[in-house]
Structure 1
Amino acid sequence: MTWETIAAQKRQALKASIPAEWVIPSDILPPDSQLNVTNFLKESGWFTKRELEITSTPAPQLLVNIATSSWTSEEVTRAFCKAAAAAHQLTNCLSEILFDKAIARARELDKYLETTGRTKGPFHGLPISIKDNFNIIGHDSTVGFTSLVNDPATYNSTLIDLLLDAGAVLYVKTNVPTAMMIAESVNNVFGRTVNPRNRNLTSGGSSGGESALIAFGASRLGVGTDIGGSLRIPAACTGIYTIRPSAGRFPNFQTRSGLAGQEAVNSVNGPMASTLPEIILWAKTIVSQQPWIRDPKCLPIPWRTVTPKRRLKIAVLWHDGTVAPTPPVSRALKETVAKLRGAGHEIVDWETTWHDRLLSILSRMFVADGGKSVANLLEPTGEPFRPEMKAYADAEEMGVHAMWQLQLERNGVCKSYLDQWNESGIDAILCPTTPYSGVENGKFAYVGYTGVFNVLDYPAVSFPCGMYADKTIDGAYDGNEPLSEIDSQIRNDFNADNIHGMPVSLQLVGRRLEEESALMMAEVVLQTLQG
């Protein structure tokens, strides 16, 4: 079969796996012209009061309600499955549907609780959504390649086994871009996932299926991955929370990769959710499972209790020297800094001395194999490179010696960055997550604000700062000239009307392997912003 036929059949099979009772009736189906569909659950009249209560309840309380038998896992799972079915029909966010298995699993967990009087584990009965690249036995992990369609996994990723042991219910896998190496979730198998807040805008990538599902209201906790911003970019595009951890804190073993074996900059996984407490719940729970017992690359670091600091010293990265944040992001950063100063936190400016070098290192590492990893996955079906992957199509392979020299360069720059941090005496760096508060589908052009921290391997929390793009005050850049050619392109693409009302996210970066501190500081910042 041609790659087009394989993709069409996979899409049809996915569509057919939605039960008839969860296909949105035509008389309440939002028209394509309705851009914001985040209120569909509440306003369509298609969901019961109980279903709405379940899907709007944060994960910690869901766990309490299930453990105390106020709700059954089955009814909770059914509510999220129905919501996920709706989300997919409106945003194209799913890659695999596991509804039948999820409901059967929920029934087993309910029976276990009824029989033993105990929960199976810390995630007992909680539906959790999973990014496509995590292997689940019997299901595809295509990562956007037609050659990997109908190639079901024969083993679980380590994280999947941990989640099942903890009592979680896995009900969907979510869409990604080809090889998970594009900042928007679009591929030749499933097509494009759009943003439920504005379907003309991207949900980001590579964890864009997750971000769309969560922002729509069809998941409380989801799992994504990040190698250059793939957690933080989609979180920022949709106004939700995430943490990009340092490598080794959360298990990432036996996941599928578009660049398998590339470890010069490590892919990591992390949670995505609508609230910060849900992110913290995830982090504590996963580490409490002692993942280092199963994952040879996980570090044996138990979760540490960190006392909140009443006064932080925060360095502000106003721009990275290559691309200036768009007007809504620039305004939000200024207003956030003013509130932090007003609350007594010390603010200093951060010099961008090493950012261009770090981004250059990252881009060279990604194509060091001459694009062979991607080409080898495209070749079996004759699938072409997508236009977003031109850098991989045009790349020339780097020799072993040259790669070693690149890694030496990386190590030197990482040491210089650490020295700058130590000399400044800061607690954290505050900066944009991306230059955008929102961007039209197909126009996401810059990952510099996230990618540098992948090379450094610093934990970074992306959070909505409570401010929104406003076309009446964010209509134009200030008088500064473009910082670069790509900055000029982004400025030309900027249209305040198209992103009006989109939430603005910022990023708080901490020291390597200090995820507890990064989350604590994010809590402190949010408390300040919320008064």
Structure 2
Amino acid sequence: MTFTTETWQSKAAAKKAAILASIPEEWRLSPSQLKLAEGVRDITGPFIQQFLDHDTIAITSLDSVPIVEAIKSGKLSAVEVTKAFCKTAAIAHQINPCILEIFFDKALARAQELDDYQAKHGRTMGPLHGLPVSLKDQFHVKGVDTSMAYVGWIGGNCGVFDDGLVHKIESQITGEFLSVGAVLYCKTSLPQTVFFGETVNHILGTTYNPHNRNLSCGGSSGGEAVLHALRGSTLGVGTDIGGSVRIPAGFCGTFSLKPTPERLSYKDCANTAPGQYTCRSTIGLMGTSLDGVDLGLRALLSTQPWIKDPAVVPIPYRQDIYDAYLARGSAAGAKPLKIGVVWNDGMVEPHPPVQRGLKLLAEAVKNAGHKIVDWNPPSVKEGCDIHRRMLLSDGLYDIHQQLARSGEPLVPSLTEELKQREPRPLLEVHDLTLKGLAYEIKYSDYWNSTADDDGQVVDAVIMPVAASAAVVPGQYYHIEYTRVANALNYSSVVIPVTKADKSVDTADKTYQPIDELDRKNWEAYDPEIYDGAPVGLQIMGRKYEEEKVLAIAKVVYAALLEEKKGVKAAL
């Protein structure tokens, strides 16, 4: 292990300055421009666009699929698209720090190579040809740092400083993106340790919610969601072990897919406590559209990742499953979908904006002709407690070993929760594993039992991403709404549903919390503070149901848009 005599504070400050210095001079905001962002609640849309030219706005307003199609048809070049997203990402970072690594020069050179390839061969390199793809800073790109927000990892890859390896490691998924034509240009911020639902570290500080900067952007893939909300990216990749691609998407009004672990390759990626393999982290996709997220999954699976990574299950993209469930959303569908709804997980009552979002989405699905049923599974607390205890089974030794590289302390929000403790004995870990498997069986049995009343099993479940529409920094008390899908290794998609509105989402002062945790969460709600915060909801399927849950999410989201259209027309 390499230690340094340089203070962690100076090393972190130098890294922060180096990130800003890597932004081209012509894209740097002046002090007066930066001052405009101070005190502004919502920096999305018109606010960030004031710093961009018309052509850049036109390109970055497109989603992933239209961009790929425009490049393929010759309407746009890869260089034009890459430059637009690099510029927008640079502005986004300056008004809300969200990027840990910038390599725009590499990206523009790569884009030129792709344009030259297309000109020479008359075809594109792959399904993502010319599309800029952002990466959470857990994925190795050759020639680029991977700090994973640890000060002690600055200057290396995943804590590797050996001259023969430093900056030469490439994650398998990074190579897969390149093989299908993607352009990689930046790596986004995440919380120190990764084990946190907010994005805060000693290098960049806190990354706030771009729709409402009173609030957190979520975590751990928070930098990704912020960049998408500010249109500095349309497709990115993160990781999820407790909600890390779903929480930020829900908080920032974007889309995400948490697949079943081992559907995509985790090979040669940085991680916390990588030896903990019972409750597995999973690679997840995030973006500005469902079609874009789906495109990313198709592209990665087209590389047959299981050939190079034996941990990946050999399941190619299943078009027949996607088409079958998408067809059930049409008027001519063979039979309606049956959707369960989680109104409350039995531990913490959702805030008024989330309650309204659930009712709005359930009503939209019902009005589209589908069945809605209440979802009352086995104790969520039981499954989540098993998952939490397993994640902490090493006594947080790995986290504290990485902190010791620079001497940096835990960020204040994590000081108590992630303090080092004794590792769990092996037999206790074995027992937790068996309890986890028993919980999976119990939950699966309940799911199967939903066919008892009408012969039709529930197809998917709508549930909150969190009990609140984003959170006030330091007040994220309950992540079990996302954790349960990790405890079960289920697939889940997040869609934006509505935004908190102080005029309708008033605080219910008559509500009687069931315990101290519920009280803390309920009292944290303030209609004025939360006004404008996105409300995202999950659509959860079972294991290896990525195509199914993506198709159902598309059906559900279309029903929501149709419902909103009808309400608007009625007004």
Q: Give the TM interval when normalised to the shorter protein.
A: over 0.9
Partner of 1:58: 63
**Mean CA deviation greater in 454-463 or 377-386:** 377-386
Spell out, residue by residue over 1:443-471, the C-alpha distance to the aligned partner (whole angstroms, 9 max, x if none). Answer: 22211000011010110111112x22111
Mapped to 2, the partners of 1:100 and 1:77 lie a distance apart of 10
How far did 1:406 drift? 0.5
The 4+ residue runs of structure 1 with deviation greater than 6 A are none
For 2:508 and 2:311, the matched residues in 1 are separated by: 45
Q: Which moved more, 1:25-34 or 1:92-101?
A: 25-34
- Answer yes or no: is the 8 Å Cα contact 2:48–2:91 preserved in 1: no
What residue in structure 2 maps to residue 38 of structure 1? 44
Residue among 304, 309, 316 paired with 1:295: 309
Q: Which moved more, 1:126-135 or 1:378-387?
A: 378-387
Give the aligned partner of residue 425 of structure 2: 399
Structure 2 length normalisation: TM-score? Answer: 0.90
Q: Is the 8 A contact 1:41 1:83 kept in 2?
A: no
Give me the TM-score of the superposition, normalised by structure 1: 0.97
CA–CA distance in 1 between the matches of 2:94 and 2:539? 34
Q: For 1:400-452, what per-residue CA distance to the aligned partner results, in whole angstroms no more than 9, with x for missing partners?
A: 11100000000001100000001112111111111111222222221100001
Q: Give the distance between the partners of 2:367 and 2:130, measured in 1 at CA.
A: 43
How far apart in 2 are the matches of 1:493 and 1:214?
27
Aligned-residue identity in percent? 38
Check conservation: 1:228, 1:454, Cα contact below 8 A. Answer: yes
Q: For 1:174, give the aligned amino acid.
A: T
AA aligned to 2:13 is A
Q: How does 1:211-230 map to 2 (within 5 A)?
A: 211-230=225-244
Instruction: Name the structure 2 match of 1:145.
Output: 150
* Paired position in structure 2 for 1:433: 465
Report the counterpart of residue 365 of structure 2 in structure 1: 340
Q: Which residue in the other structure is 1:8 paired with?
A: 13
Q: Match for 2:413 among 373, 384, 388?
A: 388
Residues 1:518 and 2:549 aligned together: yes
Letter in structure 1 aligned against 2:487: V
Check the 8 A contact 1:41/1:52 in 2, yes or no. Answer: no
Query: Deviation string for 1:456-499 (max 9, x for gaps)?
Result: 0110111112x221112212137442133221111111111011
Aligned to 2:483: 451
Partner of 2:568: none
2:265 to 251, 257, 263: 251
Looking at structure 2, the residues matched to 64 and 416 of structure 1 have their Cα atoms a distance apart, in angstroms, of: 45
Pick from 282, 285, 293 the counterpart of residue 268 of structure 1: 282
Q: How does 1:279-290 map to 2 (within 5 A)?
A: 279-290=293-304
User: Is the Cα–Cα contact under 8 Å of residues 64 and 289 in structure 2 kept in the other structure?
Assistant: no
Amino acid at match of 1:69: G
**Equivalent residue in structure 2 for 1:498, among 519, 522, 529:** 529
SS in 1 for 2:273: coil
| 1:369 counterpart = 2:394 | yes
Letter in 1 for 2:268: Q
Q: Which runs of 5+ in 2 are unaligned?
A: 1-5, 158-166, 330-335, 451-456, 563-571
Deviation at 1:68, TM superposition (A): 2.3
Distance in 1 between the 2:485 and 2:302 partners? 25
How far is the alpha carbon of 1:56 from its aligned partner? 0.7
Name the counterpart of 2:381: 356
Greater Cα shift, 343-352 or 274-283: 343-352
Q: Does the aligned pair in 1 maintain the 2:211–2:534 contact within 8 Å? A: no
In 1: Cα distance, 2:364 partner to 2:126 partner: 41
Deviates more, 1:150-159 or 1:82-91: 150-159
The superposition leaves residues 333-361 of structure 1 with CA deviations (integer Å, 9 ceiling, x where unpaired) of 12222222233221221114220011101
Shift of 1:37: 0.9
Distance 1:7 1:200 in 2: 25
Alignment of 1:64-79 (within 5 A): 64-79=69-84
**Equivalent-residue separation in structure 2 for 1:82 and 1:116 (angstroms):** 29
Q: Does the alignment pair 1:47 with 2:52?
A: yes
Evaluate the alpha carbon distance shift between residue 26 and residue 189 of structure 1 in structure 2; reply closer, same or farther with a 3 A threshold: closer
Of the three residues 474, 493, 517, the one matched with 2:505 is 474
Offset of residue 42 of structure 1: 6.3
Query: Which whole-Å CA distance do the structure 2 matches of 1:218 and 1:335 have between them?
Result: 30
What residue is the counterpart of 2:137 in the other structure? Answer: 132
The DSSP-based 3-state class of the residue aligned with 2:405 is: helix
Aligned to 1:201: 215
1:41–1:295 CA distance, 2 compared to 1 (3 A): farther
Conserved in 2, the CA contact under 8 Å of 1:41 and 1:47?
no
Residues 1:410 and 2:436 aligned together: yes
Structure 2 counterpart of 1:33, which letter? G
CA contact (8 A) 1:195 1:202 kept: yes
Q: Between Structure 1 and Structure 2, how many residues are aligned?
A: 529
CA distance in structure 1 between the aligned counterparts of 2:360 and 2:548, rounded to whole angstroms = 23
Amino acid at match of 1:315: G
Q: Distance in 2 between matches of 1:205 and 1:397?
A: 25
Distance 1:156 1:74 in 2: 24
From 88, 102, 120, the equivalent of 1:115 is 120
* Secondary structure, counterpart of 2:187 in structure 1: strand
State the distance in 2 between where 1:411 and 1:487 align. 28
Alignment of 1:460 with 2:486, yes or no, is: no
